[in-house]
Amino acid sequence: MCLAVPMRLIERRDEFLGVVEAEGVQREVSLMLHPEAQIGDYLLIHAGYAIGAVDEEEARITLELLKQVAEAGEPQ
């Protein structure tokens, strides 16, 4: 249970409000649960709130791992 989508913070409107964007779709969201958000961060958005941020280094590591797994194909 929990649909949450990564979206990039493009604007801060207030202490606790920001605007996030993904694929040209934008929404105002509350930053009350993740007030340390910075413009450019990829935030995890659930029910109109940022509940956390995507750690870009971890994401890069995971994607690199997946790339290796895909290239290795079937294990021998």
39 in Cβ contact with 9 (< 8 Å): yes
Query: Footprint of other proteins on residues 50-69 (CB under 8 A)?
Result: 51-55, 58-59, 61-63, 66-67, 69
Minimum CB–partner distance for residue 76 and other proteins (Å): 9
Select from 9, 22, 37, 38 the one that contacts other proteins (CB under 8 A).
Answer: 22
CB atoms within 10 A of CB 42: 19
Place of tokens 């040209």: 24
Residues 57, 43 contacting (CB under 8 angstroms): no
Q: Is residue 14 near other proteins by the rule CB under 8 A?
A: no
d(CA 49, CA 58): 22
Q: How far is the CB of 26 from other proteins (least distance, A)?
A: 4
Minimal distance in Å, beta carbon 40 to other proteins? 16
